[in-house]
Amino acid sequence: MTLIPVVPENHSHVLAEFDCLDPLLSALRLDSGRLKCTCLAVSRKWLALGTSAGGLHLIQKEDWKQKLILTHKEGSIAHVACCPHDEDFVAVATSQGLVVVWELHLERRGRPERVSVSWEHRGQTITALCWDTSTLRVFVGDSGGKVTSLRAGSSKLGKGSAFVIFPVQTVTTVDSRVVQLGCQDGRLLVSSLSRCYLADTEREKFWRVGNKERDGEYGACFYSHSKGLLGQSPLLYCARPGSRIWEANFNGEVLSTHQFKQLLACPPLPLITYREEPRYSPEQRTPQSLAFPKLLLFGDQNLLTWTDSAIYVFIPQNGQVLLWTEVKDLMDIAVYRGELFCLHGNGRLSHLSMLSADRCVERLLRRESWVPAATVACMFQHVITTSRARKSIPIDRLEHLKSQLSPSTHSELIGQLEEVITKLEPLDSASSSRRSSISSHESFNVLDCGIYRVISRRGSQSDEETSSLMNQSMCEEEQLKEFSFVPEEDQPDHDPQSSERTEADRSEQGLPFHLPLSFRSKPPRIALQAVKDSVSSFVKKTTEKINTLQMNSELFQRPEFKESGQAETSTIVNSYSDEMENEVCDEILNKEADMQELWSATERTFSEIQDPLVLLDPVHLAEALLEWLPVLERILGPSNLGSAVVSESNQNGGELGRSSTLNLLSEPGKPSETVTVESRESSELEEKVDQCEIQQLSDFSEEVIVCGSPPETLRVMPPVPIPSELLSKLTELATVYTELSCFKKQKGGVECKTFLRRYFFLLDHERVRRMCLLCYQEQPDVRSSFMEAMFELTQTSNVVEVIQKKDLLKSLRSLRELQPWKAPLLLAHLHRLYEKHGEAAVRSFSHFYPTITPADVVAMADRSHFLAYLDNLVQSRPEENRLHFLQSLLEPESLREDWLELALTHDAPKHCDTLNPNGQPRWHSHCFPWGYGRLLSLLIRLPADYSSKQKMAEMCRSHGYWTGYLHLCKELQHRSEAFSAICQLDDITLLEEPDGVEPHTMEEWKLLIQLSQQHHDIAANSQQAAGVNGSSCSTDCEGRISPESLTLMLARTAGPDRALSMLEECGVQLVLSPHSKLVCELLRVTERRQRWVFTFKAPLSD
């Protein structure tokens, strides 16, 4: 990774995209090629989206849920505007020139109604729409230069005002098309192709802004001063050619001209988005001479404009460029305060926010987007290092950010971030004195989970003093606390739970201080963890030994014991402390020896499987892994394996011992809790322990009887720290063994499910996921265990809390923020989402392709829900690429028939509607709609061999999908079967190309006429008995197949005489209707004239 270039100090703000609106468009079905978003508007409460079908969707910005949809039959929505001072009103302009003002009635919970309608711009293209800032009045401008005003009646204005119809007033007609409208304090600003005009709508006065004309689309807007400058009238800003902007007063007089051409030679700032990592190129650009098509007031003191490829934000007060950023395919932008909503040419929406660089880093940290946050921090060092930025980004948060970056992939980024941290200025605000006084007594430690742990500094002790103090006294305090016997009257009352918490807290607090060990000068991580485990296990063993001591109860009643008891106690403590030191040393040495043995066995097996002769031969590969497996089981396996074996061998199938049973029932990998034995409660504790053990024994025996064996514990975290080099090789071997045991059972080995649950902390999650996709039908337990493990790994994620709230859009947005995705982790979240929302969630899974594949979804979801996902996934591609994309999803190709069968059996017509009792087509049954017709039409067009096409044709015929059946018969050259089906469907359009099957030879015409005659006779007979599929088929002859209609078709192709002779050859006695006779005569005349023209031209050519 290359060094991140630093942004110049005159830039402090960025545009960032934190929210993804793709799920919203998908839920509104606005992501298809047929229906698209055409315009947008935004207010404090609403995001209004106009569509090409005439619908207006009102979305609540608070939760991104659709509140209303307003429909218009007068064309697609061209413009929409929300009333700035009353959000209960929305103005809409359609492509046919209609303007509608809607009153939503949300406060009264009534139905929305059209309170004002204008057809004044019929036949013209409406180009601008603007609300008055103080009254319910809308200004409209069109391509002819006409500007009108439309008042909205409302019951809010008083009694009877809702029934008043205000006339549409023509404000003015300018010289050319209206580009942009603006309204402020009763004055209207009109920007046309040639100049800007200012109108006082109350006094009906008009001014021209400036004297020079222009030619092109240039915007204009009002600029209100900030709240501290009350009493000053607003200014006007009008775009001019060459990246210039006029500044004018409220009377239209130009005050100054701002030149931005040279200022825009600076490089663009990156767009901070989840879609890709931010990139900044410091190379200077050439000066930009642009035409700003629109100007918008952005925030409090900024101007915003855009082209089709970039967004520009200016500070008009000092004529500076705040930022400019390249954004592709821009079509329209709506702003509200500091947020932008961009409509792109392909119908996609993006939600951007402008904020300072330090606030952007803070937002990225909250979303755990570590790499983008570090990149922005390195780019904008001059903003991050200031003392003001400490309020949003404390030093501890930057340190935590650095710890989240991977040294292997982001080493240079970590180095740059360290340089930024060294330059940080402390917080110099007035309130920092109290914080500094607090920090002098306390320090902060950021845990991996993001929690800030406060470490108190008592008195004036330094860290070194506290550390040495702990090193000297910890062992003595722990031993005396655990093994001291105090007489009954001197023992203070205390809560045993609080004592256990104190012990646990002390053990945790002592870990960071590196206990000095006399037998090891520099203990590694493995030895340190072994010390912790060994001490815990020895304490448990010592406690059991103390419990077995038969102490005479009379000793506690004799008064002389009170004097000599302390000496006896000290003797016991000394003897056991020596024993503890010896056992700790032995256990540490054993742990290191075991780890060395595992390392050697792993290295040997890993080198063996590098040989292709071993790796590609399942037999030799299994032999190598089975030699390595016992070492792994003994060293890293669950603790209950060894105890169970010892118990069975020692007791010869008898009753399980107490210690082994308790060990078997306890969770593996967790250190045993210490028990403080007190003299006055020793008998009670022994009774409680005995009762607890008996109860556990009975419970365990019941489990063994019912299940046959105790359930295998799922281990997702390693029981001991494992070096990274060893872990990588263990992961490779464990994953290979899992894959091998999944597809081939090994004698003497561990089955796949058991091995996966025991050693999940060693497995490659992505490879296991792919393995589960291949074998989930044969071994569903393996995949369920894998998903159970992924659930446990992702349980602490913030996304889980969002999913539990059952808000689909927010859940999808949270998943978008997790990019780049890892398939196993994302799959666990999608499982949770599917459990909460069902089919609605599955339809949105297409946005996660190709990370989540159709194979993942089909293993997770119901078959009907998977079909909806597949249809959405295919339709999300451009129409010309859908067939090729669908073919790429067929892995293996046998899925073609499976998916076709699935689409033919869901949301399909009933068999009785498409097939008669004989299994033949019903009349016009090909006209029934199929729920997944678009997917079916692609599936039957997929390339396949001859036998597969035959199977697909038979499937279509058996389910009555006649459109697909005819297409496949045409591909297979089964033309006689196709003609037979067409005659029974009785639709002559099925004989027309390109979708139909048209006869090519006279033999095919002859066969078709004979089949139609047979079907006509059968239909006539059945009609006399009961009628065929209703009476309409017998009375409506238009479009039906009959010998007469076929004769006319053949006459147009081969001539009327040849057609009539064909009827005689078929033996069909047919009396043509007058209309048919007239058509034949006209065809004869046309044929003779063509023959005469050809004969006349032949000699001339000679």
Q: Coil, strand or helix: which one is 1068?
A: coil
What's the confidence (pLDDT) of residue 1003? 81
Q: Residue 155: what residue type?
A: S
Q: Tell me: pLDDT of 1056 over 80.
A: no
Alpha helices for 446-486 (secondary structure H)? 463-483
Q: Tell me: pLDDT of 772 over 50.
A: yes
Question: DSSP assignment of 248-315, as one string?
Answer: E-TTS-EEEEEE-TTGGGSPPPPPEETTB------PPPPP-----S--EEETTTEEEEE-SSEEEEEE
Query: pLDDT grade, residue 1021 (50/70/90)?
Result: low
In sequence order, which residues have a C-beta less than 8 Å from that of residue 601 and are 6 or more positions away?
627, 628, 631, 632
pLDDT in tens, 333-356: 999 988 999 999 888 899 999 999
Using CA atoms of 943, 948, 950, 956 in order, give the dihedral in degrees to the nearest 10.
-80
Using CA atoms of 771, 774, 778, 784 in order, give the dihedral in degrees to the nearest 10.
50
H or E segment to which residue 60 belongs? strand 55-60
Tokens of 562: 């009170």
Least confident segment among 101-115, 557-571, 833-847: 557-571
Q: Work out the number of other CB atoms within 10 angstroms of the CB of residue 123.
A: 10
177 or 711, higher pLDDT: 177
Place of tokens 């909250």: 366
What's the confidence (pLDDT) of residue 537? 53
What's the confidence (pLDDT) of residue 38? 93
Q: Tell me: pLDDT of 680 over 50.
A: no
Share of the chain above pLDDT 90, in %: 27
Q: Tell me: pLDDT of 657 over 70.
A: no
Query: pLDDT grade, residue 199 (50/70/90)?
Result: very high
CA 358 – CA 361 distance, rounded (Å): 5
> What does the DSSP 8-state code read for residue 233?
P
Query: pLDDT grade, residue 28 (50/70/90)?
Result: confident
pTM tops 0.85: no
What's the confidence (pLDDT) of residue 582? 54
Q: Tell me: pLDDT of 807 over 50.
A: yes
> What does the DSSP 8-state code read for residue 910?
-
Q: Coil, strand or helix: which one is 145?
A: coil
> 435 with 427: CB under 8 angstroms?
yes
CA 551 – CA 545 distance, rounded (Å): 12
Least confident segment among 222-231, 870-879, 1041-1050, 1057-1066: 222-231
Q: Average of pLDDT values for 851-868?
A: 89
Q: Tell me: pLDDT of 650 over 70.
A: no
Q: Tell me: pLDDT of 507 over 60.
A: no
> Residue 512: is the preceding peptide bond cis (ω within 30°)?
no
Q: Residue 608: what residue type?
A: E
Say how many CA atoms lie within 13 Å of 132 toward its Cβ.
18
Q: Average of pLDDT values for 36-60?
A: 93
What's the confidence (pLDDT) of residue 130? 95
Mean pLDDT (the chain, rounded): 76
CA 929 – CA 935 distance, rounded (Å): 13
Q: Tell me: pLDDT of 91 over 90.
A: yes
pLDDT in tens, 272-290: 998 888 899 988 889 999 9
What's the confidence (pLDDT) of residue 1? 55
Q: Tell me: pLDDT of 950 over 70.
A: yes
Domains in the chain: boundaries = 639-666+686-712, 865-1036
CA 495 – CA 497 distance, rounded (Å): 5
- Which of 115-129, 464-478, 602-616, 992-1006 shows the highest mean pLDDT? 115-129
Tokens of 649: 């061998």
> 85 with 95: CB under 8 angstroms?
no
Please name which of 28, 58, 53 lies closest in space to residue 40, comparing C-alpha atoms: 58
In our burial notation (b when 16+ CB lie closer than 10 A, e otherwise), range 399-434 reads: ebbbebbeeeebeebbebbeebbeebeebeeeeeee
CA 101 – CA 1003 distance, rounded (Å): 65
CA 305 – CA 322 distance, rounded (Å): 12
In sequence order, which residues have a C-beta less than 8 Å from that of residue 371 and are 6 or more positions away?
277, 405, 410, 413
CA 28 – CA 34 distance, rounded (Å): 13
For residue 688, the cross-strand partners are none
> 622 with 744: CB under 8 angstroms?
yes
Question: DSSP assignment of 919-988, as one string?
Answer: SPBPTTGGGS--TTHHHHHHHTTS---HHHHHHHHHHHHHHT-HHHHHHHHHHHT-HHHHHHHHHHHT-G
Main-chain dihedrals φ then ψ at residue 772, nearest 5 degrees: -65, -35
Q: Average of pLDDT values for 399-424?
A: 89
Q: Average of pLDDT values for 168-178?
A: 91
